[in-house]
Amino acid sequence: MFVALSAWMLASVGPVAIDAARPLQAEVPVLAASRGVVFVNFDGAELFFGQDDARDDTTVLSDMAGEFPAYGGTSQRAATLQAVRSDFAAYDLIVVDSRPTSGSYTMAMVGPYEAGNVLGIAPLDCYDSFPNNIVFAFHGDADGYTSTAQANTISQEVAHSFGLEHVADQRDIMYPVSTGGDPAFLDLCVAIVPSPEIVCGDQHEAHCPAGEQSSHRELLDRFGPSVPLDPAEAVVEITAPGDGDELDIDVPFDIVARSIDGRPFANVVLFVDEANIGGRTQSPYTWRVDGLPEGIYGAYVIAIDDSGIMSRSESIEIFVGVENPDNDGGGCRVGDAPHGDAPCWWLAALSGAWLLRRRR
């Protein structure tokens, strides 16, 4: 196996270079477009040297073997995760922050690792030939980089594992210098910045002239477009709170989801007002809420099964300190007796605390 490098480099002044991608090459067939999963690991892990396999915490990058630090803190994690999701929103790829229990996934290790003048490193895997790559972004909570800049590093390292190389256009996420903006995967053929030479040329030339790359077209080729999920075909649902329930301000409660037909899921991800709150890999799928300010909140979950197929639940609305105008006595209010005979299914399972964003 041949391994090469590409890296974002720190500078004391001006732009910041981002990464060193190490290419992997193998004689394997090109993968057909299929859904992908990226696990953004903010919690640290002990890594071992070997062929890349996120499921076993083995990395082909020998220098990265050992204890990788956790991201730490809480102030930026959710915003950084959401920014990574936004980067990949056009593609049939889901980004989670809890480890899937089965199936293939790319793992992005995110933590304040000391690597001199480098912000990240990744294997450059042409055609995404080796599933389950591990990539690295050297950021910690409140390290001076915005959540958008941190996501830029993470997304670039992840894209290296899909065979994307550096380009010369600073509007593209694959530009090798962090400029503090909000780049995207461009639907344009732009010049590749060889370091020291272009590695995945055949992959790029399927969409662009020699020496150029369109990051958007290559990701679209690999994963296909984002597919809206139809709640009418849902196999997962939110069981608590109920749709339209009224809750008291700052009263703790749980959001709970379940499989409708009893099948297990590799991951269930909660979204509140379109923000990714995080995934759960074991039933009951429960998220602890420490209380909310006044407002109306919308929530749904997306479940991923062992084969990577996703299902979206129907959305619910939660009224916190606000009367539900459609409540005819069938809802439930936390902190008070239930309205009518409706039960309140507030379960006591514990999980990580988080804050919901108020809908405006």
DSSP for residue 143: S
pLDDT for 217: 95
Go through the domains of the chain in sequence order and give each one's CATH number. Answer: 8-223 (3.40.390), 231-334 (2.60.40.10)
Rg value, the chain, Cα: 22
- CA proximity to 157, closest of 98, 84, 108, 219: 108
pTM of the model: 0.67
Neighbours of 32 (CB within 10 A): 8
DSSP for residue 326: T
pLDDT for 89: 87
pLDDT for 23: 67
pLDDT for 266: 81
pLDDT for 344: 35
DSSP string of 157-191? Answer: HHHHTTT---BS-TTBTT-SEE-SS--B--SS-EE
- CA proximity to 98, closest of 45, 50, 46, 138: 45
- CA proximity to 227, closest of 137, 150, 309: 309
β-partners of residue 94 are 37
**Could you tell me which residues come within 8 angstroms of residue 338 by beta carbon, excluding any fewer than 6 positions away?**
332, 344
DSSP string of 232-277? Answer: GG-SEEEEESPTT-EE-TT--EEEEEEESS----SEEEEEETTEEE
> What residue spans of the chain are helical by DSSP H?
77-87, 147-160, 201-205, 215-223
Rounded to the nearest 5°, which phi and psi values hold at 78?
A: -65, -40
pLDDT for 278: 82
Would you tell me the crossing angle of helices 147-160 and 77-87 to the nearest 10 degrees? Answer: 50
Q: Please give the single-letter amino acid code of residue 5.
A: L
> In terms of DSSP bridges, do strands 106-110 and 134-137 run parallel, antiparallel, or are they unpaired?
parallel
Q: Which residues of 249-273 are buried (b: 16+ CB within 10 A; e: fewer)?
A: eebebbbbbbbeeeeebbbbbbbbe
pLDDT tens, residue by residue, 97-145: 888 877 889 999 999 998 878 899 999 999 998 889 999 999 999 899 9
Cα-Cα-Cα-Cα torsion 22, 308, 279, 128, nearest 10 degrees, comes to: 10
Q: Please give the single-letter amino acid code of residue 273.
A: D
Tokens describing residue 15: 């732009």
Ranges of the chain whose pLDDT falls below 50: 1-15, 27-28, 330-360
**Could you tell me which residues come within 8 angstroms of residue 173 by beta carbon, excluding any fewer than 6 positions away?**
87, 152, 155, 156, 159, 183, 184, 185, 215
Provide the CB-side half-sphere exposure for 77 (13 A, CA). Answer: 22
> In terms of DSSP bridges, do strands 295-304 and 267-272 run parallel, antiparallel, or are they unpaired?
antiparallel
